[in-house]
Amino acid sequence: RSVTSAESGALERAAEAALRPKQLADFVGQEVVREQLSLVLDAAQGRGRPPEHVLLSGPPGLGKTTLAMIIATELSVPLRITSGPAVQHAGDLAAILSALEEGEVLFIDEIHRLARPAEEMLYIAMEDFRVDVVVGKGVGATSIPLELPPFTVVGATTRAGLLPAPLRDRFGFTGHLDYYRSEELHRVVTRSAQQLEADIVDEAAAEIASRSRGTPRIANRLLRRVRDYAQVRGSGRLDLEAARSALEVYEVDAQGLDRLDRAVLRALCTRFAGGPVGLSTLAVSVGEETETVETVVEPYLVREGFLTRTPRGRIASPMAWSHLGLQAPEAAAG
């Protein structure tokens, strides 16, 4: 797996946690969401009530978990964390919900992956602050309604479109996180380097920023790889030379595309003649999960103009061909 798409182990999670901004004021970029969210939080605090439920959507690594933590911190309440795939049965969710105390924040990552019964239980709980606990089995089973204190759900999803309307409608505020601009990532890298006590020159920070696929998680990850490189093969100082060499070692190209990005584009161009080809066929041909290709790889390729989505399938743009050093086929006449 490539450096920028690799899923994290415990070590990486710890490294990430150390670099998380703790307050809204330290959260770089995303001005629109930041302002909207700070209004929601300030108003709720002014009324002395928990804020309405918040949904955060956007590609992985853009700061959804970080914002959930910041929301709890700003409200000075504990944060409970779970995720769609972790809740296997409605009973698991009932246990989580009934343990919540007044005003607490419940963060549900990958909320689009909740099983249907849990989803239904959740939107009733969000609306009425009530959960129906089923006691007993079979014909003797009875459902006992349990009142919950008011709390706030912060849901995160890479695919807001997949949330069923009844659940989506329970969120008073939805914030869409978009890819970061290079200058914003530059600030993320500089801030992280300070926290890591790494001696980085400005050009190196800019280089890392411009090759991080618009994603703070990747910027921080590349920063750590550049730091390794500088320590092992350089002077310890993170200069432009160390940045470029490290990015080469980890196969991040000048546009910030990593090995998986290029594999997808290459398959599209060479195996499917530039498309159109269906998403799942494309995913199988590079040996990846459809969801990974759809939520991690594609959005950035689309945004940068390497790939377009059409009703008939994915199509490589002329830029994709030239980026790979391939000759695009002549467009058929007529």
Q: 262: which 2 tokens?
A: 């290029």
Q: Find the shortest distance in angstroms from Cβ 323 to ligand ADP.
A: 26
Residue 64 among known ligand-binding residues: yes
The smaller minimum CB distance to ligand ADP, of residues 51 and 175, is found at 175
Q: Find the shortest distance in angstroms from Cβ 99 to ligand ADP.
A: 23
* Region for 103 from its dihedrals, namely left if φ exceeds 0, alpha if ψ lies in -120 to 50, beta otherwise: left
CA distance linking residue 123 with residue 130, whole number of Å: 10
| Selected range binding ligand ADP among 64-72, 166-174, 194-202, 268-276, rule: CB under 6 A | 64-72
Q: Find the shortest distance in angstroms from Cβ 12 to ligand ADP.
A: 9
Cβ(69)–Cβ(79) below 8 Å: yes
Single residue of 3, 4, 5, 27 touching ligand ADP by CB under 6 A: 27
The dihedral through the CA atoms of 282, 288, 289, 294 has a sign that is negative
Tell me: does residue 21 bind ligand ADP (CB under 6 A).
yes
| Selected range binding ligand ADP among 61-69, 92-100, 165-173, 194-202, rule: CB under 6 A | 61-69
Which residues are the active-site residues? 64-65, 109, 158, 217
User: Which candidate, 320, 288, 328, places its Cα nearest to that of 301?
Assistant: 320
Q: 222: which 2 tokens?
A: 């590349």
Tell me: does residue 4 bind ligand ADP (CB under 6 A).
no
Query: 253-283 b/e with 16+ CB inside 10 Å = b?
Result: eebbbbbbbbbbbbbbbeebebbbbeeeebb
Q: Find the shortest distance in angstroms from Cβ 69 to ligand ADP.
A: 8
Cβ(285)–Cβ(271) below 8 Å: yes
Tell me: does residue 29 bind ligand ADP (CB under 6 A).
yes
Applying CB under 6 A, the residues found at the interface with ligand ADP are 16, 19-21, 27-30, 60-66, 156, 188, 216-217, 220
Q: Which residues are annotated as a binding site for DNA?
A: 309, 314
Q: Which residues are annotated as a binding site for Mg(2+)?
A: 65
